[in-house]
Structure 1
Amino acid sequence: MTKTPDSCNTGRAQAVRTLRQCSQDIAQYSDPQCDEDYVKLIGILEKKARALDALNQYSQMSACLEKIVKLARSSLPSHNLSLPNALEGLAECRAIMGDRVAAVSLFKECLEVRELAGMLETHPSQTACLKRMGDLHRDQDSLDKALEIYLEVLSLRRSIAKPDAGKKEVAKLAEALHDVGTTYHLCGEFERAIPFLKDALELKEKIASTRSGKGGSRGEEVKDATTEESEKDDIVEEGQEEEEVFMEMMYGLASTYAKNAEYTLAQPIYTELIARRRNEDPPNYIKLAQALTNVGAMHMEAGNCALALPFQEEALDILRMVLPESHPQIAQALGNLGEVYRRLEDHDRALKLFQASLAMQRARGAASAMGKDSLEGISPMSMAGILNNLALLYRAMDKYTQAEQQLEEAVAWVKRAVPSGHPYITSMEKSLSALRHEAKDKAAGTYDPTMYAETWGLHSKIVT
């Protein structure tokens, strides 16, 4: 549940007061003389770091935590947890500030220090720290390393979540299964991903059924007139958060089934997911549009372009309802709808939609370069996808010069997004070479469509 402006303002005001008090308290210990002074000073700095976190002042928070680390190393015994806690906080700061390499290194040091202090590897703080390392490796596309860490976390979670485990332990196990499954998905190993994602979703369903089964007893408790309103809000917020996690897991399994061409298994999950998204209160229109886009993409990959059309149209309508017209997601949705019409061989409609999408992307990139756009600049892979699909359209219209221009630019955008030698680059350069050979064959009257069928069957793209 989103915090109200009043509650946010109250929290900020409290944080400012805390900072003011901390500054006064720190002055009293500017020259610590004994172990007790160091402990008190570190405690004050920890309070200051929490206040800076509440104010999103991460640069100052980072400096504060660095000071704690320095003091803790020099003055505290090895079993004291102030040092590893500060290292963990500093790692999160570095991650937020975009320095993921430093963040991973700090999380690793945090694990080592806690282990030296006698903390078991199954301790919640250790498994949480290890998971964050996996998250950061995944964010950096170091998928092999992320998978190695996630599998270790899963092994630890399984050892903790015994048959009589509580809801929190089971939820953490489901999360670990989901992390492994989504990483296999990102690696393109869809068959290996499915059992992990399926088990994760089944565990979340089990948690949900347990929660609903206890609804009566909880209802009896909240009938008490003295129950605080904030406690009721916490119950509602917890339920909303669990529902969101459940829907994300549904999406993960459905999209993996679809990628593995198991459309009959993906369809009912997507159908339920869309129904849940439509019934959300308050509605999350962006997530609903995403689900609709993915169902449309699935129908297209299954060869049912006519079924895909209404899903892509509704996704675009929803995004236009809630986002400014210049928003990148609208540009993507226009391109996705254009791809449906291209496959339906409605070339005129497809061309207009692709051109509109490209114009929005280019305008956004120009505005971003001049510092006039509050949104992010052009997404290279999104741009490459639209250009690639436009090239396929021009090819279908026998306009090979235009097709080659679009595909050349698409390759250039991909090279900006991925390292040299990446399969995406190889794939698109192969398409460009095939396009040039096909144009020559047609000009010479020696064109044989069977020579190019495989190439052009692989490279259209829906941005999901």
Structure 2
Amino acid sequence: MHTVFRIDEVRKLDKKSPLYQVDLKLTSDDDQQLRQLTDRVRQETSGSTGWYRMGKLLLKISQFDKAEELYTALLEQVSNDSDKADIYHQLGWLKDDQGQYKEATSFYKMSLEIKRKTLPEDHPSLAPIYGNIGQVYKNIGDYSKALEFYEKAHKIKEKALPSNHPDLAISYGNIGQVYNRMGDYSKALEFYEKAHQIFEKALPSNHPHLATSYNNIGGVYKNMGDYSKALEFYEKSHKIYEKALPPNHPSLATSYNNIGGVYKNMGDYSKALEFYEKSLKIREKALPPNHPSLATSYNNIGMAYSGKGDYSKALEFYEKAHKIYEEALPPNHPSLAISYGNIGEVYNNMGNYSKALSFLEKALTIQQKTLPPSHPHIKETIRRINNVKKV
């Protein structure tokens, strides 16, 4: 192991000086927490050669263009199907992270097609591909399809892994996410808590997966209206992300965004705007300009301005978000429905009722196609439409 230090203490030299003194302590080879962390890093950046490991590392730190350049070059050099399948899989992961879901699905399925020619259906190496295809379907709003692929992945992992393995926890978390999107919050919480129990036992306390777990549980509590509980879990998550990730990492942006969402729901729109803008600042640096997560930031900032009563500013940000959603997502995606609904609500508040009704009805059409009939979003949109019609 190379030389690694722990930060022991940080203190300012004096009140007038901008300099700080940092006291470091040399770690030992038998440092258990450090060993767990480095072992996990090695697992997450594993590969047959240094170039493959480099590609995974570039993806982990969100250097998408460099990763794509590397994988494209590797693809031109390899001749055997096994290596091609691995590269297609990584390119699928890359495209998914960039919000290019059609391309992501194509690469993942090319990888799956190659592997299924030579492997049994329950082979462990198929699980990541099934899981990632499930993630793409989740991102495009096809939740039944997402659940199908996530469950295929989970079935393989349950056979192949010990019951406390972190990858099994990730699988529980993925299934929980789908139930959360479908509005089945009790089921979502059940799977998230299964995941969290494993993470707490298997990972060091500052591992990003543990932060994601806190974040997921916080999201369910927010959806259930328990905002104090949601904020508690979001802040636990954020504390880990700040320590473990670079300052421009998309997960940190998501964390700021989620905390902002709680403040928005609590009616503290100024505080919400503060966190939403922190999220946007990271996303504008880290993501391509047409990425759906960037649209989410614009949309949320629009909601904060709407809450403050600044409807023209709200409409400006809602329309920025909507433009990206229309380009990046399929026409029946739930996020597009939310976007239509938000624009409709602003027009309603501005007194333009015909435009409000038009956008709200577009939102309802999508929601009725993609969500269960009892989903809270459908009920809310119907309520809004009825209120506009009463005016």
Alignment partner, residue 392 of structure 1:
345
Contact 1:296 1:312 in 2 (8 A): yes
1:96 matched to 2:131? The reply is: no
Q: 1:260 to 1:112 in 2, by over 3 A?
A: farther
Task: Provide, for residues 112-138 of structure 1, a one-character-per-residue CA deviation record: whole Å limited to 9, x for no partner.
Answer: 9726xxxxx5x5246557656755765
What residue in structure 1 maps to residue 300 of structure 2?
Answer: 336
Amino acid at match of 2:195: A
Structure 1 residues 195 and 379, CA, compared in 2 at 3 Å: closer, same or farther?
closer
Structure-1 separation of matches of 2:324 and 2:133: 34
Does structure 1 residue 351 correspond to structure 2 residue 311?
A: yes
**Would you say 1:431 and 2:381 are equivalent positions?**
no
Deviation at 1:256, TM superposition (A): 1.3
From 233, 237, 260, the counterpart of 1:273: 237
TM-score normalised by the chain length of structure 2:
0.61
Q: Does structure 2 conserve the Cα–Cα contact (< 8 Å) formed by 1:135 and 1:146?
A: yes
Asked if 2 retains the 8 angstrom alpha-carbon contact of 1:197 and 1:249, the reply is yes
Matched, 1:2 2:58: yes
Q: How does 1:34-433 map to 2 (within 5 A)?
A: 46=81, 49=84, 53=88, 96-97=105-106, 110=116, 114=120, 121=122, 124-125=124-125, 131=131, 138=138, 143-144=143-144, 147=147, 150=150, 154=154, 157-158=157-158, 161-162=161-162, 170-209=165-204, 243-305=207-269, 307-319=271-283, 332-343=296-307, 346-347=308-309, 350-361=310-321, 381-382=334-335, 384-396=337-349, 399=351, 402-412=352-362, 415=365, 419=369, 423=373, 428-433=381-386
One-letter amino acid of the counterpart of residue 433, structure 1: N
Question: How much identity, in percent, do the aligned residues show?
Answer: 18
> 1:162 and 1:421 mapped to 2: Cα distance?
35
Q: Does structure 1 retain, via aligned residues, the 8 Å contact 2:345–2:360?
A: no
Structure 1 distance, partners of 2:89, 2:346, is: 51
- Return the alpha-carbon distance in structure 2 between the equivalents of residues 284 and 304 of structure 1: 26
Q: CA deviation at 1:433?
A: 3.4
Contact 2:89–2:107 (Cα < 8 Å) also in 1: no
TM norm structure 1: 0.53
1:154/1:176 contact within 8 Å kept: yes
1:173-224 alpha-carbon deviations (Å, 9 max, x no partner): 2123223322322221212221321231232232223xx8xxxxxxxxxxxx
Q: CA deviation at 1:99?
A: 9.4
Q: Which one-letter code corresponds to 1:203 in the other structure? A: I
Distance 1:304 1:155, change over 3 A: same
Q: Give the match's secondary structure for 1:2.
A: helix
Larger Rg: 1
Which of 247-256 and 45-54 deviates more?
45-54
Code of the residue aligned with 2:175 in structure 1: it is V
The separation in 1 between residues aligned to 2:215 and 2:236, in whole angstroms, is: 10
Please tell me the root mean square deviation across aligned C-alpha atoms, in Å. Answer: 4.9
Give the letter for the 1:262 counterpart: D
Alpha carbons of 1:337 and 1:192: their partners in 2 closer, same or farther (altered >3 Å)? same
Q: Which amino acid aligns with 2:174?
A: D
SS at match of 1:114: coil
Q: Which runs of 5+ in 1 are unaligned?
A: 23-44, 58-92, 116-120, 164-168, 213-241, 369-374, 440-464
1:110/1:8 CA distance change after superposition, 3 Å: closer
Paired with 1:331 and 1:247, the residues of 2 have a C-alpha distance of 23
> What amino acid does structure 2 have at the position aligned with 1:2?
L
CA–CA distance in structure 1, aligned partners of residues 169 and 356 of structure 2: 44
**In structure 2, do the counterparts of structure 1 residues 276 and 112 end up closer, same or farther at CA, with 3 Å as the change threshold?**
same
Partner Cα distance (1:9, 1:145) in 2:
31
Distance 1:390 1:403, change over 3 A: farther
Is contact 2:215–2:234 with CA below 8 Å preserved after alignment? yes
Instruction: Tell me the number of residue pairs that the alignment of Structure 1 and Structure 2 aligns.
Output: 319
Are the structure 2 counterparts of residues 385 and 435 from structure 1 closer, same or farther at C-alpha, using a change threshold of 3 Å? Answer: same
Flag the 1:205–1:247 CA change in 2: closer, same or farther, 3 A: same
Q: Distance in 2 between matches of 1:161 and 1:51?
A: 21
